[in-house]
Structure 1
Amino acid sequence: MKSLFQRLLILFLIPMGSSSVWADEPLDLSQYKGKQAVYIDFWASWCGPCRQSFPWLNQMNSRYAEQGLKVIAVNVDSDRDDAIEFLAEHPSNFQVIYDPKGVLAERFGIQGMPSAVLISREGEVVSQHIGFKQDRAEHYEQSIKQLLAEGEQGE
């Protein structure tokens, strides 16, 4: 069990500039329909590949947010403190949602961590993958670029 001091230290270590938004309410994807494509990444603090994916997610958010990509990371840890500690070590520049009961993971049929779902501006799931491998990152990014380009053509 972590001491109160350790918990406060973890909270202090999270970068003040982090735009992570902790939300306990369900994710309402309808707010993005017609406006943004959404990349949802499901992760947990105990997941090794999740540590590799966070820098890449930060890059994707920085590169494509202005082109209409919304990056959302959904944490499924049962203990929020574990997620907070993870974020202190691996800060995010994108929204983070806390889903300890796995409601969203179940909704999307998530089988392992990390897993990602790419959703079009029309609200349709266009791709989904389990795991994160650095040698596949270019393929993941290509899917995002293609989806954003299709959205521009449709406007």
Structure 2
Amino acid sequence: MQSTRNPRLIFEPLRTDHLDALALELLRPEVLEYIEDDLPSLEDFRLGLSRAIAGPPPSRSDESWLNFLVRHAGTNQMLGRLEATVHDGIAEVAFLFGARHWGKGYATEGLAWLQSEVRHRWGVSGFWATTVPANLRCQALLVRSGYVEVTAPFPTLLSYGPGDLVFSSEMRT
């Protein structure tokens, strides 16, 4: 897949040669506050995303791991990343943007693009996301994007952890 764009953003498949520059945006305590207990080293950051880029192991061949870099269309600056894990007819989505870029609508635009891309390329219309209760910024973005909080029962979610809040959105064709 090649890069695509909207008027403000460029979306391209995440590659390992992006990781050092992306770390400058994302490897910060305020960005990873609700994801990591301790800030990972640059090496661990690279390793984790390199594994994600490589895709699922053979034992999970029924999954697709989609990882995208988001850039500003005017400056080409890296803003953050988007991901979706497609499995069992659903997509679990996530987004992570540098703190300097919060509050500008980039993540909202990015999530809308990701959902459209997944729907068109993989035929998925059910989207799911999880977050910890303390991550109010994430919850607000999901609600703005048409997600609603749901309680069990919900499908098996690979990103779910005990105590997480679960959100769902159904895209209509």
User: After TM superposition, is the score higher than 0.5?
Assistant: no
Greater relative CO (CA pairs within 8 A, separation 6+) = 1
Q: TM-score, normalised by structure 1?
A: 0.29
Instruction: Choose between structure 1 and 2: higher strand proportion.
Output: 2
Q: TM-score, normalised by structure 2?
A: 0.27
Instruction: Choose between structure 1 and 2: higher helix proportion.
Output: 1
